[in-house]
């Protein structure tokens, strides 16, 4: 089952696409080693609010069960971005890579019926993980993985890179998402 309601994902995705159409749009220049067609979550106000709520209410508790940490430790988001894979033109896939994070997540924002192919390929298991809207795939950032090519349609995900903060929490002095 999905971690988050698919209707909630569809609603905020539509609002996010509208915001990107009117404002800053998509970028391919944010990630040097493995560029994605994306937009930072913090630049999309309705998505930022929704994602912070999802982190605190659902995603972080799931991660705490999957990746137990020292008492007093907290997951923190280093980077989160809405990614667009488009079979008709633009980015269709991501090559094999590792992330610069302790934990990484992909959160499906649209249903698998909207595209053909896709998913996250993991080299160590030789498997592709693919979920409907609201599904979360979480893994250690050092795990070699790739974005499988889509053949039809458009796939949207939120990718997030996390680290574990220990000790006293610090104030947010930049645009990182801190839930």
Mean pLDDT for the stretch of residues 135-163: 97
Name the pLDDT band for 169 (thresholds 50, 70, 90): low
Residue 57 neighbours by CB under 8 Å, 6+ apart: none
**pLDDT at residue number 113:** 97
Span 118-123, average pLDDT: 97
Q: What is the pLDDT of residues 19-56, one digit of tens each?
A: 999 997 898 877 667 778 999 999 999 999 999 999 99
Beta strands in 2-123 (DSSP E): 38-40, 74-86, 94-97, 103-108, 115-117, 120-122
| pLDDT (tens digit per residue) in 50-85 | 999 999 999 999 999 999 887 778 999 999 999 999
Model pLDDT, residue 171? 54
Distance CA 65, CA 141 (A): 17
Q: Let me know: does 62 contact 105? Beta carbons within 8 Å.
A: no
Query: How high does pLDDT run on average in the chain?
Result: 90
Q: Which residues, other chains included, contact 156 with Cβ-Cβ below 8 Å and sequence gap of 6+?
A: 13, 82, 83, 84, 85, 108, 109, 110
- Reduced to 3 states (helix: H, G, I; strand: E, B; else coil), residue 179 is coil
pLDDT class of 174 with cuts at 50, 70, 90: very low
Helix (H/G/I), strand (E/B), else coil: 111: coil
Q: Is the pTM of this model over 0.85?
A: yes
């Amino acid at each position: 089952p999905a971690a988050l309601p698919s209707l909630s994902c569809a609603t905020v995705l539509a609002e996010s696409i509208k915001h990107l159409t009117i404002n800053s749009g998509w970028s391919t220049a944010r990630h040097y080693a493995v560029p994605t067609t994306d937009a930072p979550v913090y630049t999309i106000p309705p998505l930022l609010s929704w994602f912070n709520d999802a982190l605190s209410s659902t995603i972080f508790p799931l991660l705490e069960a999957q990746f137990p940490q020292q008492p007093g430790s907290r997951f923190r988001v280093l980077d989160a971005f809405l990614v667009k894979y488009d079979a008709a033109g633009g980015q269709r896939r991501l090559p094999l890579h590792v992330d610069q994070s302790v934990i990484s997540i992909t959160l499906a924002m649209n249903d698998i019926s909207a595209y053909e192919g896709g998913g996250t390929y993991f080299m160590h298991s030789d498997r592709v993980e693919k979920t409907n809207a609201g599904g979360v795939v979480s893994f250690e950032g050092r795990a070699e993985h790739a974005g499988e090519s889509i053949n039809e349609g458009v796939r949207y995900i939120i990718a997030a890179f996390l680290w574990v903060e220990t000790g006293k929490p610090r104030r947010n002095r930049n645009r990182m998402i801190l839930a």
